[in-house]
Amino acid sequence: MVSTTTGRHGPETRGRILDAAEALFVEHGLEATSMRMITALAGVNLAAVNYHFGSKENLIQEVFRRRLGELNQRRLAALDQVEADAVRAGVRVKPSQVLEAFFEPSLQMATDLAHGGRIFMQLLGRTYTEPNAFVRKFLAAEYADTLERFLAALYESLPGVPREEILWRFHFMMGATSYAIAGTDALQLFAGKFDDEDPARLIPRLMSFLLGGLRAPLPDFAHSGTAEPGDVR
Amino acid sequence: MVSTTTGRHGPETRGRILDAAEALFVEHGLEATSMRMITALAGVNLAAVNYHFGSKENLIQEVFRRRLGELNQRRLAALDQVEADAVRAGVRVKPSQVLEAFFEPSLQMATDLAHGGRIFMQLLGRTYTEPNAFVRKFLAAEYADTLERFLAALYESLPGVPREEILWRFHFMMGATSYAIAGTDALQLFAGKFDDEDPARLIPRLMSFLLGGLRAPLPDFAHSGTAEPGDVR
DNA sequence: TTAGAATTCAAACGAACGTTTGAATGAGCT
DNA sequence: AGCTCATTCAAACGTTCGTTTGAATTCTAA
């Protein structure tokens, strides 16, 4: 029988498996991480995963669900706060506030060495482009409500701007954030090039970049490929 | 014997395998794509891959090398052109010109339906975060020279700006571009949300965003997390 | 036409995969 | 004590993986 909450006893086998799986998924990817690797690292029997989680797919979902729930709750709480403040002050929410409510919690989590959040956020960054269909579907479902609320808030904060453009730019911002989180050596392209990898500085760095991208002049579709807005700033 | 150029005859078995592998890698990822899937789609015998390429790893490298060489050549040619023009006019190269030389060729390739480039660029976008060590090493080596030249050009075009910040922003830009290319439904988060997926408009859209991010005010590390430059435009 | 090399093919190889089985273990309760 | 039941364990299941083999086939060149 699979215990969905905590097994009656069994010291903390479930947790050990989740932690081991999380770390190995980051290092090798979902497919390339075998049950034997997970159980070996966790120091439990091979059959323990199927006993506690039923299948590898269920384990993967559980690894994500454990962290993603808290992440999106923090995001929504931050947005609630921002919107409440705006109502109280009788002003419109600023786009930068919406962005911060969405992206800061993930960056906080990514730079939080204590709670293993850093490992998870690297995994999440990679998984955004995961080809595996069931993983994508699952993540999309987990994200749906949060994304809906943030897009609505962003639309409202930018009344003049076509929603089409806002949507695209949010998409771009998720990409930039994903890279920022996945690590400076994601592709080892930048290996050895960064002098300063202080994670505390990553947040203002990325936020400046995202805000600059969001506020950029709208594209000019007049001429085909080369979009050169002409003036700088 | 493995023929590195074109096998003497054999109609175009090598090319059929490369095309099939490319398409399947996009759809299922590198690990999840089996030799049997590849050979079945290509309509060749299972042993043909090992005969023509030696191993699955070699096949993967060949899939990337085939397209990546041309892509980086186009990038460097575009940069040469821009720098030559600047010398002739006696002015400094503009940062926007450097960005366009780097990112436009990949976007052109991504929106080029004719030559299968679109499929490859989706693959490349996903592979930037590939956990597989040998793939990352290989891609890093393929990119090294090109990246070096573009970073140097970018440093020169932005004399006042700390190189540290330029490096970070280039990293962010690669992330945004990667997402843009990987597709609007990478995570199916945005499925059904985009009214206009005209690939011709993707280029100016992304370029506007990237330039905005590059030109954003430098981050303020004074207070901890929240970087709020204060004014909007 | 014939010798020889290049390519294709069906079949099999050992290894690793996720999962299942059924017995051993051990704590909690009457 | 004895019973119960969740958990652990070693072993094996059937399947799929990448790769290899050796004989058939096809093409090239003399």
pLDDT at residue A88 tops 90: yes
Of A12-16, A74-78, A116-120, B204-208, which range is least confident? A116-120
Structure confidence by residue, pLDDT tens digits, B57-113: 999 999 999 999 999 999 999 999 999 999 999 999 999 999 999 999 988 888 776
Say which of B180, B203, B216 has its CB closest to residue A211: B216
Q: What is the pLDDT of residues A164-188, one digit of tens each?
A: 999 999 999 999 998 888 776 666 6
- Rounded average pLDDT over A215-224: 82
- What 8-state DSSP symbol labels residue B94? P
* C-alpha distances out from residue B196 to B190, B200, B219, Å: 12, 10, 33
Tokens of A113: 């060495």
For residues B139-161, average pLDDT: 94
What would the mean pLDDT of B208-233 be, rounded to a whole number?
A: 70
For range B129-155, the mean pLDDT: 90
Rounded Cα distance between A28 and A31, Å, is 8
**Sign of the alpha-carbon torsion through B41, B44, B50, B54:** negative
Residues B63, B163 contacting (CB under 8 angstroms): no
Q: Tell me whether residues B209 and A201 touch, CB distance under 8 A.
A: no
Distance CA A179, CA A173 (A): 10
pLDDT on residue A226: 40
Position B2 scores a pLDDT of 37
B65 touches chain A (CB under 8 A): no
Task: Name which residue leads in pLDDT, A106 or A129.
Answer: A106
CA distances from A37 to A17, A23, A62, A121 (A): 10, 11, 17, 21
Q: Which pLDDT tens digit goes with each residue over B181-196?
A: 877 666 677 877 787 7
pLDDT of residue B231: 36
The verdict on a CB contact (< 8 Å) between A221 and B210 is: no
Question: Among A26, A172, A191, whose Cβ lies nearest the Cβ of B180?
Answer: A172
Q: Taking residues B37-42, report their average pLDDT.
A: 98
User: Do residue B131 and residue A196 have CB atoms under 8 angstroms apart?
Assistant: no
What residue has token string 């300063």? A196
pLDDT at A108 over 70: yes
The pair phi, psi for residue B4, each rounded to 5°, is: -75, -30
Cβ-based neighbours of B122, under 8 Å, separated by 6 or more: B26, B110, B181, B182, B183
Residues 6+ apart with CB under 8 A from A57: A134
Q: Is B84 touching A (CB cutoff 8 A)?
A: no
Q: What whole-number distance in Å separates Cα of residue A18 and Cα of residue A49?
A: 9
Nearest-nucleotide field for A44 (CA, C1'): D8
AA letter at B48: A
Interchain CB distance below 8 Å, B227 and A203:
yes
Q: How far in angstroms lies nucleotide D21's C1' from the CA of residue B68? A: 35
Other CB atoms within a 10 A radius of the CB of residue A3 amount to 11
Please give the share of chain A, as a percent, with pLDDT higher than 70.
86
Closest CA to B105 of B145, B74, B65: B74
Which range among A16-25, A44-53, A128-137, B134-143 shows the weakest confidence by mean pLDDT?
A: A128-137
By the CB < 8 Å criterion, does B91 face chain A?
A: no
CB A190 within 8 A of CB A82: no
What pLDDT score was predicted for residue A10?
56
- Please provide the distance, in angstroms rounded to a whole number, between the alpha carbons at the two ends of chain B: 63
